[in-house]
Structure 1
Amino acid sequence: MQSRGLNLTQRFSQAKASADDGSRFPRGPRPLRPMRILHVLSAEFFAGSAAYAVALAEAHRAQGHAVWLVSDSDQLPTGAPQVKAAISNRRYGQRLRNARLIRQLVRTEGIDVVHAHSRAASWVSYAALRGLRVPLVSTVHGRQHLHTSTSLFDIYGDKVIAICANLRTHLIEEVKMEARKIVALPNGVRFGEAAEAGAPGPPRIAFIGRFNGGKGERAAALLQQVFPPLLAEFPALRLALIGGELEQLPAAGKGALAQLQAQFGERVEVVGFTNDVAGWLARTTLTIGAGRVAIEALGAGHAVLALGEASYAGLVTEANFADAAASNFGDISARVAPSDVDFGALLADARAFLAAPQPVPGALQAQVRAHYSLARVAAEVLAVYQSARMQKAVPDFLPVLMYHKIPDVAPATKHQTFVTKDNFAKHLAFFKSRRFTPITFADYLQFACGERPLAEFPRRPLVLTFDDGYVDNYTNLLPLMQQYGYRGVLYLLGDFDVRYNQWDLAADPTEPRADLMDEAQKRAFVAAGWEIGAHTMSHPHLPALPLPAATAEIVRSKNSLETTLGTEIVSFAYPYGDLNDDLKAAVQAAGFAFGLATDTGGLHLEDDRLQVFRINMFSHETTASLFKKTASWYRKYYRRKRGK
């Protein structure tokens, strides 16, 4: 594949860029009904996590969602209602009082989802929601302390947002958190309309960040090893120290700062905490920082040396952006590792840049602004809320059965992917006797988006899917399903000129020919209320194609089916169940809500909507096998038996 080595966000962008836009229906996630969202956070000071929570709250309020915040402060810069509580206080008595307050607020205000932004916030939110059917989503902003209770007691809730790739790895490998519940999604930033050039002025190097803890140790080393030679070598250079907790700078750093002030006077600007970080960025030639500082600087077109608590990522360029972003620009390591920094190398990088300053390339600035776009991140967070809400409401495995041909008699084939008409009638009778309610993915999406109340979701849901669109689906399948009042999902090729199973014959000429439906027959399924899904244009093995060709198969099939049949296409079935991360990104970029696999996928539909586990149905199914394949425990059984 052409995009090997790229992360999923880059694959998504690449797939989206290579997709033709011809759909009659809007792309992207279906909007949620207005939600009622509660953010819980530690906010003893306005750190990056608090800024992210406030930005997210404001973005969602602007879309019509109702938002509340509970934190240590009730003076955060948001128009949302705020409740003050000592979330950062870890004493058990205070924790219990916090949990009672949150539980009361959830009940009183009819909260749909609680979003916690620190381990302390997750702890009290988890306790508050015990016994309630309200999901908890936690954003983890940094590495977690590795002790027994962290791994034994998962208090982070139903879904976890890790702000960078390294953090996701840490949560899986070191914290031992279930990979299925973790979504890697960066903090969103609201960038200005364009980069500000800034007023002409002297060259300036700035350290922007906290001056306590690990960041303070980095600042102290810079004051001792990097800033003295730079100020000496560049007579016009100014140094700005920007950030809170300056009084907690390590003693060695305070001593070095005093020496610099004595030697270079007003060229050393001790700014401390400021609300005008953007203004200082505009007046700075080279910024040293990590996390949100690096993101905002690069997004505004200003050069960054990425130095965080975990590592030094260097001068951020197009070539190293993905690696730098994976560590949140040096703040987060994937695994326990020494955090030593070669300050000699950092000095050399700073010296080389200041000798010949270069603007941040437009392509890098655009990449940063797209990756950290608050609008994009806010939309994806809403999708996480939606997923957590459905997983809480429908906690059991939802069987998705995969059929193909429904012939009158068994064909002369060595493949058993058919069920005769008479046997299929027995399947339907079994489903009826077990009180299953067949639904479609379009139905599921309506419940997930709040278009239909969750109270009406079937107690025993079942999704019946049928691939390829054979003529016997029209002559045998449709009448039988109508007899029972059932609807299913029919996966069709986008090329209506393909009229038989030519992919089977190409692989094995001895296979019998099986004709596909014509357009009028396919329209009969739409008229009967069935969901139509896409199955590519020509049924290829997608991983064997170059990514642009595979993407075209995916996108064109959606566009063709929507245009010809006049129905929205929300789900895609990978031919042969062949898929990889590139293809999943292409399916998402094309605007599909679901991607259907074969015998692979999560334990729950919401583990991964782009790789939904489907169960193969064969000619020899019995009552016992039907019972097994529709049981709530079947997915766990299959994974244990097959390792999939």
Structure 2
Amino acid sequence: MNILMALSQLEVTGAEVYATTVGNELTRRGHNVFYVSDTLTKPTQGPVFKLRFNKRSILRRFWHVFYLIYLIKRHHIQLVHAHSRASGWSSYVACKLTGTPMITTVHGRQPVHASRKAFHALGYRAVAVCEDIAHQIINNLGVDPAKVQVLRNGIETDKFQPVAAPENPKPVIAIIGRLSGPKGELCYRLLDEVLDLEACQVLVVSGTQVPERFARFKEKAEFVGYVDDVPTLLAGCDLVIGAGRVAMEALLCGRPAFAIGEAKAIGLVDESNLDEALASNFGDIGPQDLAIDFAALKPQVVSALASKGVSEQLRQRIQQEYGLQEVVTGLESIYQDAVVETLRREMPVIMYHRFIEHESEKGVHGTWLPVAMFEKHLKLMKWLGYETLTFRDLADKGFIHRLQYGKKYLMITVDDGYRDNLTRMLPLLEKYGYKAVVYIVTGEDHNRWDVAHPTHPDKPVSLMNADEIRMLGASEHIEIGGHTLTHPRLSKLAPEQQAHEIRANKQRLEQLLGHSLVSFAYPYGDLNDDAKAQASSAGYRYAVATNSGPRAMHQDPLQIRRIAIFPRTDVFGLWRKIRGNYVFRK
């Protein structure tokens, strides 16, 4: 995808570290990530454009919107990810005017005033980095809870490894954060009222230019400025004071962290208060911000200095909550939600069964299509510029690959495993360069489920035998999937019967093909929670239904919605079904 990160800042902030860290990981995953901001200090793997969001006059705001529209059009931006109020407002207007999906990550407490309540400007989804931020924007700003999702900061946890406690002549305490705004006030009061600057070596680490009022501390504390190598800095500290990412990174390094932020002072982070720390972004925000009792902090800091390390259990919890890979995967899911729901378009997954050449081959149940019409379908797909994906493609590249800019993808699926799939369908797929996923029943030699229908019995039609399945599966145009042994309605079976139908079919196909299967089709599209659990337990990553499941396919990989192709689906009918908005219009 082409993604634009929009930030407003004049100095290094947690939002910048977040945006560039996840942005660089998105780039490594194959996305094109662009940045627009007042300033940007952290290195990025994508282009950076300067826009002075901090200049907020009416004329400037018009310019912000105009320039964002230019960037969206010029770089074919598919989604804007905003990270601040100033950039968010302008991005919201630009996205509305261009029809571009947008989300916002909310990093801190939002101001509460009438215009903010009336005009949230958050886009499709507000991603809060902690629970207390989510509660604040819901309760104080009136944001719809359905639009809010908690997804924590993404940290390259492998860069922050535990280290032994340093042997410093006297304790080293690092205060890390901005020296402006509320964070600056915190630092000032810590230096003035809490820390013993004679007994300890205090390092003040900040990218902010040191304000004049801090001059009185320069003889007793070391203002080291911005630091690139944070792990090395943390390794030399006996105690780290800060909020947000500061506390997380210190804990990952095994260094004690004293969490204090704009909302409250949590104190030394341990197992007893970790949930509170996670919910408040380590003190940065609370449901109701409290006045911090700085006098009470002094003995707490002295006690915290006696702590020489962090338990492995605590470190593991931080890794689980903040691991970059999991956070970025969560973001990719939100991006897909935003794109599919905002544009109301999804990659079509179409479903065929068998292909006939003569009128005499028609059946009762409408699961056939003249092979001549199938070729017309393929010609239309080619003329419209479609390419085909299979589930193995998605397994290799991820669901989000289907949203790649400049591509028109669809998926062809074919149920049951009729012999004509090999003799009639495959040559046409080869002719037009398309791929299909064929779901095969292995416990029958014909369509017994239709022939034995109690009220509308059909004529028998041959399924592929073992050799024919091998021949079909050997083609680069075909992916084989499971479809049970006997084509039952799975919801009518007990779980152990479901397991037998699914597992025995999968084992037989894998034995024939010599490789594992990744996808499964529920016969008749009929399923329940037990059937989904059995498909997953059998080792399937994906499973397709018919007209059930979420409209966005990534939201439930074990119940992917498909669009049925019927005997009367002519070229115009197919065009309606593969435009991308069919499941939204039904």
**TM-score, L = length of structure 2:** 0.66
Alpha-carbon distance between aligned partners in 2 of 1:339 and 1:555, rounded to the nearest angstrom: 57
Alpha-carbon distance between aligned partners in 2 of 1:331 and 1:73, rounded to the nearest angstrom: 23
The answer to whether the 8 Å contact 1:187/1:372 transfers is yes
Alpha-carbon distance between aligned partners in 1 of 2:418 and 2:279, rounded to the nearest angstrom: 50
Aligned CA RMSD, in angstroms, stands at: 6.1
Instruction: Tell me which residue corresponds to 2:459.
Output: none
Q: Secondary structure at the match of 2:365?
A: helix
1:326, distance to aligned residue in structure 2 (A): 3.8
Matched, 1:187 2:164: no
Instruction: Tell me which residue corresponds to 1:71.
Output: 37
Instruction: Tell me which residue corresponds to 1:353.
Output: 304
Q: Secondary structure at the match of 2:284?
A: coil
The answer to whether the 8 Å contact 2:332/2:400 transfers is no
Q: Which runs of 5+ in 1 are unaligned?
A: 1-34, 405-419, 501-515, 546-552, 618-625, 639-644
The answer to whether the 8 Å contact 1:54/1:76 transfers is yes
Instruction: Tell me which residue corresponds to 1:604.
Output: 552
| One-letter amino acid of the structure 2 residue matched with residue 208 of structure 1 | I
Alpha-carbon distance between aligned partners in 2 of 1:313 and 1:559, rounded to the nearest angstrom: 54
Counterparts of residues 466-615 of structure 1 (less than 5 Å): 474=418, 523=470, 526=473, 529=477, 531-533=479-481, 565=513, 569=517, 571=519, 576-578=527-529, 592=541, 602-605=550-553, 608-610=555-557, 612=559, 614=561
Alpha carbons of 1:85 and 1:616: their partners in 2 closer, same or farther (altered >3 Å)? closer
Instruction: Tell me which residue corresponds to 1:14.
Output: none
Alpha carbons of 1:70 and 1:520: their partners in 2 closer, same or farther (altered >3 Å)? same
1:482, distance to aligned residue in structure 2 (A): 8.0
Instruction: Tell me which residue corresponds to 2:569.
Output: none
1:350, distance to aligned residue in structure 2 (A): 3.8
| One-letter amino acid of the structure 1 residue matched with residue 176 of structure 2 | I
Q: Secondary structure at the match of 1:422?
A: coil
Matched, 1:285 2:235: no
Matched, 1:457 2:423: no
| One-letter amino acid of the structure 2 residue matched with residue 179 of structure 1 | A
Alpha carbons of 1:318 and 1:453: their partners in 2 closer, same or farther (altered >3 Å)? closer
1:442, distance to aligned residue in structure 2 (A): 3.3
Q: Secondary structure at the match of 2:10?
A: coil
| One-letter amino acid of the structure 2 residue matched with residue 395 of structure 1 | R
Alpha carbons of 1:327 and 1:422: their partners in 2 closer, same or farther (altered >3 Å)? same
Instruction: Tell me which residue corresponds to 1:422.
Output: 365
Instruction: Tell me which residue corresponds to 1:98.
Output: 64
Alpha-carbon distance between aligned partners in 1 of 2:531 and 2:247, rounded to the nearest angstrom: 32
Counterparts of residues 347-386 of structure 1 (less than 5 Å): 349-355=300-306, 357-369=307-319, 371-374=321-324, 377-378=327-328, 381=331
Q: Secondary structure at the match of 2:221?
A: strand
Identity %: 30
1:46, distance to aligned residue in structure 2 (A): 1.2
Alpha-carbon distance between aligned partners in 1 of 2:298 and 2:484, rounded to the nearest angstrom: 54
1:85, distance to aligned residue in structure 2 (A): 1.7
1:103, distance to aligned residue in structure 2 (A): 2.5
1:288, distance to aligned residue in structure 2 (A): 2.3
Matched, 1:176 2:143: yes
| One-letter amino acid of the structure 2 residue matched with residue 292 of structure 1 | R
The answer to whether the 8 Å contact 2:172/2:200 transfers is yes
Alpha carbons of 1:389 and 1:290: their partners in 2 closer, same or farther (altered >3 Å)? same
Matched, 1:274 2:222: no
Alpha carbons of 1:563 and 1:205: their partners in 2 closer, same or farther (altered >3 Å)? farther
Matched, 1:215 2:168: no
The answer to whether the 8 Å contact 1:40/1:71 transfers is yes
| One-letter amino acid of the structure 2 residue matched with residue 360 of structure 1 | V
Q: Secondary structure at the match of 2:88?
A: helix
Alpha-carbon distance between aligned partners in 2 of 1:536 and 1:352, rounded to the nearest angstrom: 64
The number of residue pairs the alignment matches comes to: 535
The answer to whether the 8 Å contact 2:203/2:224 transfers is no
Q: Secondary structure at the match of 2:49?
A: strand
1:44, distance to aligned residue in structure 2 (A): 0.9
Alpha-carbon distance between aligned partners in 1 of 2:467 and 2:233, rounded to the nearest angstrom: 65
The answer to whether the 8 Å contact 1:535/1:572 transfers is yes
Alpha-carbon distance between aligned partners in 2 of 1:580 and 1:142, rounded to the nearest angstrom: 43
| One-letter amino acid of the structure 1 residue matched with residue 309 of structure 2 | P
Alpha-carbon distance between aligned partners in 1 of 2:73 and 2:334, rounded to the nearest angstrom: 22
| One-letter amino acid of the structure 2 residue matched with residue 118 of structure 1 | S
1:294, distance to aligned residue in structure 2 (A): 0.9
| One-letter amino acid of the structure 2 residue matched with residue 422 of structure 1 | H
Alpha-carbon distance between aligned partners in 1 of 2:88 and 2:56, rounded to the nearest angstrom: 12
Q: Secondary structure at the match of 2:308?
A: coil
1:329, distance to aligned residue in structure 2 (A): 1.9
Alpha-carbon distance between aligned partners in 2 of 1:156 and 1:281, rounded to the nearest angstrom: 35
The answer to whether the 8 Å contact 1:489/1:532 transfers is yes
The answer to whether the 8 Å contact 1:207/1:287 transfers is yes
Alpha-carbon distance between aligned partners in 2 of 1:161 and 1:564, rounded to the nearest angstrom: 47
Alpha-carbon distance between aligned partners in 2 of 1:332 and 1:555, rounded to the nearest angstrom: 50
Q: Which runs of 5+ in 2 are unaligned?
A: 354-362, 446-462, 496-500, 565-572
Alpha-carbon distance between aligned partners in 1 of 2:484 and 2:130, rounded to the nearest angstrom: 33
Instruction: Tell me which residue corresponds to 1:46.
Output: 12
Alpha-carbon distance between aligned partners in 2 of 1:556 and 1:301, rounded to the nearest angstrom: 49
Alpha-carbon distance between aligned partners in 2 of 1:609 and 1:84, rounded to the nearest angstrom: 39
Instruction: Tell me which residue corresponds to 1:299.
Output: 252
Alpha carbons of 1:520 and 1:111: their partners in 2 closer, same or farther (altered >3 Å)? same
Alpha-carbon distance between aligned partners in 1 of 2:401 and 2:528, rounded to the nearest angstrom: 30
Q: Secondary structure at the match of 1:90?
A: coil
1:110, distance to aligned residue in structure 2 (A): 4.3
Identify the match of residue 120 of structure 1 among 52, 76, 86: 86
Q: Secondary structure at the match of 2:258?
A: strand
Identify the match of residue 316 of structure 1 among 269, 280, 291: 269
Higher relative contact order, structure no. (Cα contacts within 8 Å, ≥ 6 residues apart): 1
Alpha carbons of 1:368 and 1:152: their partners in 2 closer, same or farther (altered >3 Å)? same
Instruction: Tell me which residue corresponds to 1:140.
Output: 106
| One-letter amino acid of the structure 2 residue matched with residue 187 of structure 1 | G
Alpha-carbon distance between aligned partners in 1 of 2:544 and 2:115, rounded to the nearest angstrom: 37
Q: Secondary structure at the match of 1:127?
A: helix
Alpha-carbon distance between aligned partners in 1 of 2:505 and 2:283, rounded to the nearest angstrom: 42
Alpha carbons of 1:147 and 1:536: their partners in 2 closer, same or farther (altered >3 Å)? farther
| One-letter amino acid of the structure 2 residue matched with residue 604 of structure 1 | A
Alpha carbons of 1:39 and 1:462: their partners in 2 closer, same or farther (altered >3 Å)? closer
The answer to whether the 8 Å contact 2:180/2:208 transfers is yes
Alpha carbons of 1:40 and 1:634: their partners in 2 closer, same or farther (altered >3 Å)? closer
The answer to whether the 8 Å contact 2:128/2:148 transfers is no
1:54, distance to aligned residue in structure 2 (A): 3.1
Alpha carbons of 1:275 and 1:573: their partners in 2 closer, same or farther (altered >3 Å)? farther
Identify the match of residue 290 of structure 2 among 311, 331, 339: 339
For residues 338-391 of structure 1, what are the alpha-carbon distances to aligned partners after superposition, in whole Å with 9 as ceiling and x for unaligned? Answer: 435576876565444334x23223454355346534465456655655665566
Alpha-carbon distance between aligned partners in 1 of 2:240 and 2:485, rounded to the nearest angstrom: 50
1:94, distance to aligned residue in structure 2 (A): 0.8
Alpha carbons of 1:428 and 1:401: their partners in 2 closer, same or farther (altered >3 Å)? farther
